[in-house]
Amino acid sequence: MASLCKYAATCPVFTTALGPLPHVGLRYRRAYCRGGWNECARYAVAASRGYANVPVELLPNGPDPLMELVSASEWC
- Whether residue 2 is contained in a domain is answered as no
Determine, yes or no, domain membership for 3: no
pLDDT score for 69:
60
pLDDT at 2 over 90: no
Residues 30-72 pLDDT 10s: 999 998 888 999 999 999 899 999 998 899 998 865 555 655 5
- The answer to whether residue 37 is domain-embedded is yes
Tell me, yes or no, whether 5 lies in a domain.
no
Q: What confidence category does residue 75 fall into, taking pLDDT thresholds of 50, 70 and 90?
A: very low
On whether the CB atoms of residues 13 and 25 are closer than 8 A, the answer is yes
pTM for the full model? 0.77
Domain that holds residue 64: 12-72
Domain contains 7: no
3-state secondary structure 25-61: HHHHHHHHHCCCHHHCHHHHHHHHHCHHHCCCCCCCC
